């Protein structure tokens, strides 16, 4: 045992990974509907492991947190900017109001109870279940110029307040939103969610078995089509179907069809097109057969970014007629996206550079169109790390700028700079798809390892002062945390129902999102038996991450 302790003290990186490992292991354990969550478990693990005396450099803590904030901003950036520009504005205002109520409640309680900035920030972070507050507060304290002893004492109080208030913040918000609020406001959450799905085309979870475009093997027995070329036959059916491949008989070789290929009696044809067209026209060819080899050709659905000037400012109809003949015959246009918005596909609509065409067809044909028209935005496993690193650098440099107002130094801080940079970079990626790609799994790693690495550092460094803090502030902190949890929710439910008049399920999701509490969203989805609450959650979550980071600066300057 002594070897284990002395080794960890000598190599504190072991303690860091031990803390993260314990946090993820126990954070995912559920007792009924309750789970501590990875963040709280990691913090508690750090406080436990750190009792042997572990000190980690603050630069490591800041590095983890910058990684987390950029990843959060990158993920929510498109939603955040879109909500700011669109009819999501009421949800943006709603989320900001809840953030202000939660922050004001924490500040008032902090003043009444004689708390300092660290305790108040921890109270807000745990009671409002927003870990960004914890990180921004720690970052600002590290940059405050406090003496080492005072800094360590203050930093030790952050996890004390967070650990005491977070459990009720999580459980209380989930129970209030999913179980109590629907009864108080007089609606059946599952019923109103089902009604919304029926009125708005559903909110399906996962994938669907339906395929709009497909291919069938049809044996040609219709004498009216014999001796005609592929081009002639396709025109007869208004170019709604395409003859891709043909074999003269069951055991004959497969031929790749061109426009000039002549159809022969008894030939088996690979016919592709929309499902409706295939069903409507298949009897005009002959019986459908099972011919796996004939239909065994690679297809690809591809997002194609228009970069070729020759196709900019031309109508969609012109582009389709130019590119979707040869070599793109049989390639289907699924949608057109501009600035992260799906556009209605009308022939007279102009195509702009930067537009994204989602196309589907034989892989070889799709590749030819991509080469001619622009940039093929295929999913890849690698991340654009230069984009991420320089984004954090620029954001942090801007956040570090300090201005003096009335002799008081004010700055956003590098943490806020990092999340703003993430939002901007995420939005740029969604609108200009030729650079800045970071795969979803990589975002998950940056987000979770960044946050929990930061929390582990907080816990390990604050461990020795934690027990005394709990003894001094524990019970009072707990009750203060319940108020910080409940006040924004009560205000949100009243405003959302009577003032903003949101759909009930979307309103509850917006309340959960404004508090960035995933546990509450999960409880809402379970009670609603639907994904409808996610619609409200997305905007609220995106807004709260930035707004709470900014409001933390206010908290730290008030005390």
pLDDT tens track for 218-230: 999 898 898 899 8
pLDDT of residue 328: 54
Degrees (nearest 5) of the Cα angle 151, 152, 158? 95
Q: Are 462 and 50 in contact (CB under 8 A)?
A: yes
| Percentages of the chain per state (helix, strand, coil), in multiples of 5 | 60, 10, 25
Work out the pLDDT band at 87, boundaries 50, 70, 90: low
- pLDDT at residue 508, rounded to an integer: 93
- Predicted local confidence at residue 469, as pLDDT: 67
Q: Is 268 helix (H, G, I), strand (E, B) or coil?
A: strand
Closest by CA position to 418, among listed 400, 437, 439: 400
> What is the average per-residue pLDDT within 345-373?
80
The whole-number pLDDT of residue 323 equals 67
CA 312 to CA 190: how far, in whole Å? 47
Percent of the chain's residues with pLDDT above 90: 16
Residues 424, 81: Cα–Cα separation, whole Å: 8
pLDDT tens figures, 167-213: 788 778 888 998 899 999 989 988 988 887 777 644 444 445 556 77
Span 318-334, average pLDDT:
69
> What value, to the nearest 5°, has the Cα angle with vertex 454 and ends 450 and 458?
170
Q: Is the pLDDT of residue 366 over 50?
A: yes
Characterize 365-379 residue by residue with b for buried, 16 or more Cβ atoms within 10 angstroms of its Cβ, and e for exposed: bbebbbeebbbbbee
Q: How far apart are the first and last CA of the chain?
A: 44
DSSP 64-129: HHHHHHHHHHHHHHHHHHHHHHSTTHHHHHHHHHHHHHHHHHHHHHHHHHT--HHHHHHHHHHHTT
CB 533 within 8 A of CB 541: no
Q: How confident is the model at residue 401 (pLDDT cuts 50, 70, 90)?
A: confident
- Mean pLDDT over 239-267 rounds to 86
pLDDT for 390 equals 93
**What's the pLDDT at 42?**
84
Lowest mean pLDDT across 50-64, 212-226, 272-286, 458-472: 458-472
Average pLDDT over residues 126-148: 80
- Look at the alpha carbons of 303, 307, 311, 315 in this order and tell me if their dihedral is positive or negative: positive
Higher-scoring residue by pLDDT: 113, 148: 113
Task: Tell me the average pLDDT of the chain.
Answer: 82
What's the pLDDT score for residue 339?
A: 63
pLDDT of 491-520, one tens digit each?
999 999 999 999 898 899 899 889 877 667
Query: Is the CB of residue 451 less than 8 Å from the CB of residue 419?
Result: no
Q: Return the pLDDT at 491.
A: 95
- 333, 371, 365: which is closest to 244 by C-alpha? 365
Report CA-CA distances (Å) from 455 to 21, 357, 404, 447, 492: 12, 42, 31, 12, 29
Q: Is the pLDDT of residue 407 over 60?
A: no
Which residue is it, tokens 């901007």? 424
State residue 271 phi and psi, 5-degree precision: -110, 125
Gap between the Cα atoms of 429 and 434, Å rounded: 8
112 contact partners, CB below 8 Å, separation of at least 6: none
On the question of pLDDT at 327 being above 60, the answer is no
Angstrom distance (rounded) from CA 256 to CA 363: 14
């Amino acid at each position: 045992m002594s070897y284990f302790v002395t080794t960890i003290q000598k190599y504190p990186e072991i303690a860091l990974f031990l803390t993260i490992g314990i946090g993820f292991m126990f954070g995912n354990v559920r007792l009924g509907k309750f789970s501590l969550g990875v963040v709280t478990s990691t913090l508690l693990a750090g406080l436990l492991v750190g009792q042997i005396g572990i000190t980690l450099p603050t630069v490591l803590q800041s590095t983890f947190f910058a990684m987390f904030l950029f990843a959060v901003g990158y993920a929510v950036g498109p939603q955040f900017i879109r909500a700011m520009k669109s009819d999501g504005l009421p949800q943006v205002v709603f989320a900001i109001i809840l953030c202000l109520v939660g922050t004001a409640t924490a500040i008032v309680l902090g003043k009444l109870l004689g708390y300092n900035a660290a305790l108040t920030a921890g109270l807000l972070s745990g009671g409002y279940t927003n870990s960004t507050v914890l990180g921004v507060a720690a970052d600002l304290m590290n940059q405050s110029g406090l003496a080492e002893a005072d800094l360590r004492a203050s930093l030790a109080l952050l996890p004390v307040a967070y650990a005491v208030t977070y459990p009720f913040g999580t459980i209380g918000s989930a129970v209030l939103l999913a179980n109590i609020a629907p009864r108080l406001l007089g609606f059946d959450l599952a019923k109103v969610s089902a009604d919304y799905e029926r009125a708005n085309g559903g909110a399906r979870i996962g994938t669907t078995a339906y395929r709009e475009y497909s291919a069938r093997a049809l044996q040609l027995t219709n004498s009216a089509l014999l001796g005609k070329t592929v081009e002639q036959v396709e025109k007869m059916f208004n170019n709604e179907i395409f003859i891709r491949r043909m074999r003269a008989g069951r055991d004959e070789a497969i031929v790749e069809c061109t426009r000039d290929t002549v159809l022969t009696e008894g030939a088996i044809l690979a016919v592709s097109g929309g499902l409706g067209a295939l069903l409507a026209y298949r009897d005009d060819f002959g019986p459908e057969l099972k011919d796996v080899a004939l239909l065994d050709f690679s297809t690809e659905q591809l997002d194609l970014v228009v970069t070729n000037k020759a196709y900019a400012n031309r109508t969609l109809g012109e582009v389709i007629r130019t590119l979707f003949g040869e070599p793109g015959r049989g390639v289907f246009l699924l949608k057109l996206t501009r600035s992260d918005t799906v556009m209605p596909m009308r022939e007279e609509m102009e195509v702009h550079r930067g537009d994204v065409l989602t196309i589907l067809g034989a892989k070889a044909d799709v590749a030819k169109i991509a080469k001619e028209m622009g940039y093929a935005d295929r999913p890849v496993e690698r991340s654009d790390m230069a984009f991420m690193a320089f984004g954090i650098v620029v954001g942090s440099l801007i956040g570090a700028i300090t201005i003096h107002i009335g002799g008081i130094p004010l700055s956003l801080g590098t943490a806020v700079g990092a999340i703003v940079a993430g939002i901007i970079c995420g939005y740029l990626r969604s609108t200009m798809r030729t650079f800045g790609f970071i795969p979803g799994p990589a975002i998950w790693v940056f987000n979770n390892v960044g946050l929990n690495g930061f929390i582990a550092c907080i816990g390990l460094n604050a461990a020795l002062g934690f027990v005394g803090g709990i003894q001094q502030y524990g019970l009072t902190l707990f009750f203060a945390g319940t108020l910080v949890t409940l006040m924004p929710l009560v205000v949100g439910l009243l405003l959302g129902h009577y003032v903003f008049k949101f759909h009930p399920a979307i309103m509850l999701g917006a309340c959960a999102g404004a508090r960035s509490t995933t546990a509450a969203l999960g409880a809402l989805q379970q009670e609603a038996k639907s994904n409808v609450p996610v619609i409200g959650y997305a905007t609220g979550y995106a807004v709260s991450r930035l707004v709470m980071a900014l409001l933390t600066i206010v908290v730290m300057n008030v005390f």
